[in-house]
Chains A and B, each alone.
Chain A
Amino acid sequence: MSLELILEPFQYAFMVRAFVGVSLVAIVAAVVGTFVVLKGLAFLGDAIAHTAFTGIAVGLLVGIGIHFSAFFFAVLTALGVVVLTRVSQVKNDTALAILFTGVFALGIVLLSTSPGYVGDLNSLLLGSVLAIQSREIALIGGFALLLLGVLALFLPQFVLVSFDPVGAEAAGFPVVFFQSLLLVLTAAAIVISIQAVGVVLVVALLTTPAAAAGLLTTKLKGQMLLAAVFGMISSLSGLYISYFWGAPPGATVVLVATLLFAVVLVVQRMRGLGGKTW
């Protein structure tokens, strides 16, 4: 492959924007997603993505900011689950599934019956990173910095409420607050990732790189860093493949991430079980 071929996509401003945008969300999603993977919250992440979609639909139709309405719906879902688990004390994945698919279906009906929005439906479901604008990149960048900043600032607190919530609460630690804050960060990461890979695949950005990283290390910060690297690699190579093959970039990004996970899994197995060395 000649240098020209490698650089070819970069002559287009929209490709450069796409590379920057997708890298940003991949890093944030992978870092936040490390907690999602460790606490087994992938299903909740998927639910948040789907209700956020309806938030976007409502935002488009009512004419308010779509990021705002998406974030509102996403946070409502996340905090609703916190309340449900604390009040009912039962496993509620069935209730969650009923609720989020219902809300998602409403969003599809709303968008597809409103003339002029059918195109938005497709791009929301599959992502539209090639159409990303500089203003949106600035917004994503700002959110990315904010999310990573909050996560870094309260990392010991997030670790405590994930590791031993009962002991922490008994000692008077604000467990519910930090658990909720962590879910709000997850919701925000999902909202800024939807444009890149679409509603259907966004949970892969959260979980796949972080899960691959988890195979290689028993250190939390190492897992976050490695997840971010895997997320970067996936998004950059995914975009390249999408450029040359003409497939939707969201799908190629997730496909690369999945392959990367498979390779890591095989390598880790070949090194023998318990092969975590760093």
Chain B
Amino acid sequence: MAESKELALEIRGLSTGYQDRVVLRGVNWQVPRGTLAAIIGPNGGGKSTLLKTAVGLLKPFSYETLKLLGQSPQAARRRVAYLPQREEVDWGFPISVLEVVLQGRLVRKGWRGRPRREDYAASREALAFFGLEDLAQVQIGALSGGQRQRVFLARALVQEAELILLDEPAAGLDAKAQHELADLLVSLRDADKTIIAATHDLDCLTGCFDQVLALKGEVLAVGTPAEVLTEETLVELFARHFPKVGAGGEVTVHES
């Protein structure tokens, strides 16, 4: 089907969750290639669950269609990069920034993964793209949150991933670092990558993202930021929080 080739992510009738707990029901979502998309919603709303199901880390309960880049999640894996939440990575491990980026090649090679000269070259190039070349030999844990995100994005580039999924990439970043991250995601999108980021931080969503999925156990709304980020949807999403839409269209959520 010609249409599904153009889709980076195609989900129809998906129900998923953990063991015997259903987290998401009846999810339909189509993300065209070259899109920068956000998944928003409260904690426990199913953002991570959706991402993990998409990359095959969680087995869905049922679905009509679940395709990444036109393939099954298993078949598409090496063309997909998933950046886990901060806590799932062992930042204290003695590994340098360059070694982390080289892993982008290792996941493609699997068993026989000795790095070659061209792998080093590609990794250094990716580091330079993100302005990290001076940090190549530094232990990863010594970097700031924003720099770590960039290292993982460099790894995704080296992996030649076409679809990049980020789980809470903005967590723990200050406002400046969040904006820098958003700019990088835009530049990756412009380099023909498809980016999907789960976030409960709404800063600068309107400015950067092409598509927003509002998730709270089910899909509450999907569309452009302007279509989704209405006061009505936001109140429904973050019942106990107080969303505010500013004059420039930017949205902030305050704890009540």
Residues of B within 8 A of A13 (CB): none
* A163 & B82 in contact (Cβ 8 Å cutoff): no
Does B94 contact A173, Cβ atoms closer than 8 Å? no
- The stretch that binds A, out of B99-107, B180-188, B218-226, is B99-107
Docked Cα-Cα span, A156 to B103, in Å, equals 8
Chain A CB count within 10 A is highest, among B57, B88, B100, B106, for B106
CA–CA, A222 and B246, complex, Å: 53
Q: Measured between C-beta atoms, what is the minimum distance from A162 to chain B in Å?
A: 6
Inter-chain contacts of B56 with A (CB < 8 A): 170, 172
Interface residues of B in 79-105 (CB under 8 A from A): 80-84, 88-90, 92-96, 99-100, 102-103
Of the A-B pairs whose beta carbons lie under 8 Å apart in the complex, a sample of 29, sorted by A's number, is A38-B90, A156-B103, A157-B111, A159-B103, A160-B103, A163-B90, A163-B100, A164-B88, A164-B89, A164-B100, A166-B82, A166-B88, A168-B107, A170-B56, A170-B165, A171-B77, A171-B82, A171-B107, A172-B74, A173-B107, A173-B110, A174-B110, A174-B111, A214-B94, A217-B94, A218-B139, A219-B94, A220-B93, A223-B94
State which of B74, B106, B114, B161 has its C-beta within 8 Å of the C-beta of A173.
B106
Contact between B110 and A160 (Cβ–Cβ < 8 Å)? no
Interface residues of A (CB under 8 A from B): 38-39, 156-157, 159-160, 162-174, 214, 217-220, 222-223
Please determine whether B94 and A167 come into contact, CB atoms closer than 8 angstroms.
no
Q: How many residues of B contact A (CB 8 A)?
A: 37
Question: Residue of A at shortest CB range from B100?
Answer: A163
Residues of B within 8 A of A (CB): 52, 55-57, 74, 77-78, 80-84, 88-90, 92-96, 99-100, 102-103, 106-107, 110-111, 113-115, 139-140, 152, 159, 161, 165
- Report A168 CB to chain B, min CB distance, Å: 6
A162 partner residues in chain B, CB cutoff 8 A = 90, 93
Q: Is the interface of B mostly helix, strand, loop or mixed?
A: mixed
B77 near A160 with CB under 8 A, answer no
A156 and B113 contacting across the interface, CB-CB below 8 Å:
yes
B140 / chain A contacts, CB cutoff of 8 Å: 163
In the complex, how many angstroms separate the beta carbon of B119 from the nearest chain A beta carbon? 10
A156 to B95, CA, bound (A): 10
Contact of A170 among B77, B89, B102 (CB under 8 A): B77
Bound complex: CA A191 to CA B94 (Å) = 27
Contact in complex: B78, A172 (CB < 8 Å):
yes
The 10 closest A-B pairs by CB, nearest first: A172-B77, A170-B82, A170-B55, A171-B107, A166-B84, A218-B139, A220-B94, A166-B88, A163-B93, A173-B107
Report the bound CA distance from A214 to B94 in whole Å: 9
Within 8 Å by CB of A156, from B77, B94, B114, lies B114
**A38 near B82: Cβ-Cβ < 8 Å:** no
Query: Of all chain A residues, which has the CB nearest B165?
Result: A170
Residue numbers in B under 8 Å from A171 (CB-CB): 77-78, 80-82, 107, 159, 161
A164-B88 Cα distance, complex, nearest whole Å: 7
Residue of A nearest to B104 (CB): A171
A223 (CB) vs chain B CBs: closest residue: B94
Query: Are A167 and B78 neighbours in the complex by a CB distance under 8 Å?
Result: no
The reply to whether A163 and B114 form a contact with Cβ atoms under 8 Å apart is no
* Alpha-carbon distance between A174 and B100 when the two chains are bound, in angstroms: 17
Residue of A156, A166, A214, A218 touching B57 (CB-CB under 8 A): A166
**Could you tell me the distance in whole angstroms from the C-beta of B209 to the nearest C-beta in chain A?**
22
In the docked arrangement, what's the CA distance between A38 and B80, Å? 28
* Highest count of chain B CB atoms <10 Å: which of A160, A165, A170: A170
CA distance A160 to B99 in the complex (A): 9
Contact (A159, B110) CB under 8 Å given A167-B84, A172-B77: no
Q: How many Å from the CB of B55 to the closest CB on chain A?
A: 4
Within the assembled complex, what's the spacing in Å between the Cα atoms of A46 and B229? 54
Query: Residue B89 contacts which of A38, A167, A214 (CB distance < 8 angstroms)?
Result: A167
- CB pair B77–A218 under 8 Å, yes or no, is no
A164 CB contacts on chain B under 8 angstroms: 84, 88-90, 100, 103
Question: Given known contacts A163-B89, A164-B89, A218-B139, is B110 in contact with A38 (CB within 8 Å)?
Answer: no
Task: Tell me, in angstroms, the Cα distance from A223 to B95 when the chains sit together.
Answer: 11
Cα A251 to Cα B90 with chains together (Å):
34
Nearest-Cβ distance from residue A169 to partner chain B, whole angstroms:
6
A123 to B84, CA, bound (A): 48
